[in-house]
Amino acid sequence: MVEAEDRKTLVPFNLSHILDQVPELKKLDVKLDSASFEKPIDSSDMQPKHWLQMARIIEENYLKYDGFVILHGSDTLAYSASALSFMLDGMRKPVILTGSQLPIGMIRTDARENLITAVEMAALTKNGEPVIQEVAIYFEYKLYRGNRTTKVSAEAFEAFSSPNYPLLAEAGVHIEVNYARLFRPKSEQFDVHHNLDASVGVLTLFPGISEEQLLAQIGTENQRALVLQSFGSGNASQQPWFLEALKSAIDNGLIVLNITQCMKGKVEQGKYATSQALLEMGVIGGSDLTLEAAITKLMVLLGHSDDPVWIKAHLNSNIRGEMSIA
């Protein structure tokens, strides 16, 4: 991002001349090439079609390069990292997303350090293979699993958090890697999922939510799935109108994935009476999925299959290290 002439508005910046902006990259023992969208966008305009573009660039260049670094606005960075993690199957190379809180042209920008170290992280090898073999986010000296990460600050340089999973690595004088926490794909074949279905809704529960609000959300035309942001460990209202409407929607084919509004912890349906009814009607417990991971996982699964049994089975599976399964 760069500042517009009024110095108050941030606009997308074409980074085709990134080496001129960050000459320190030339000192790294890596060969760098770049690709970019024909027209840069603000990350607030990110859409599934842009994830497909990123995935295609990686797919077309997968055999040519040892790793990939994606420069991305911070606002939807966790969504993109989560989406790519589910779209890139069997990947054994690093895809590291990074960005900044201040524009690269500002004196105090965090963009330079984030980019330089993201490239270093992507270049790490051990025993002849990449250390990182997953989609990750690097921000402010920390490397996070992409689909475990959420943006928590609009102002601090430490803008991201992984509340339910440890850091993959941390950069200080040395880069300290948490090898025990790294993801390794089960598939031996790299494959890209090109079909995404964005017919996913989100319903955040709150005291005072009305029947009309619920019906408006679950009655959206062509909606195939709903992310339910419930209270605590997966609890929801026990009012008859609420339970009856939700059950009717599920009986009519709506897939409902229950995640907690809490930053830390996970959904455990049936732990309390206030979630037992959800379990019995077929609501799927989302464990400790972030909202970003829940939405994008559903989009990828819905795009891959029309079989609700298959989709529900994969929602209950930890396929990219995105959730904790007891």
Q: What is the pLDDT of residue 5?
A: 35
The confidence score (pLDDT) of residue 32 equals: 84
Stated pTM of the model: 0.93
- Give residue 39's pLDDT: 83
Return the pLDDT at 292: 98
Domains and CATH numbers, the chain: 2-192 (3.40.50.1170), 200-315 (3.40.50.40)
Q: How does pLDDT run along the chain (326 residues), one tens digit per residue?
A: 333 333 344 445 444 567 677 777 777 888 888 888 888 889 999 999 999 999 999 999 999 999 999 999 999 999 999 999 999 999 999 999 999 887 766 777 888 889 999 999 999 999 999 999 999 999 999 999 999 999 999 999 999 999 999 999 999 999 999 999 999 998 889 999 999 999 999 999 999 999 999 999 998 999 999 999 999 999 999 999 999 999 999 999 999 999 999 999 999 999 998 899 999 999 999 999 999 999 999 999 999 999 999 999 999 999 999 999 85
> CA gyration radius for the chain?
21
Integer distance in angstroms from the first to the last C-alpha of the chain?
42
pLDDT of residue 326: 56
Identify the pLDDT of residue 31.
85
pLDDT of residue 111: 80
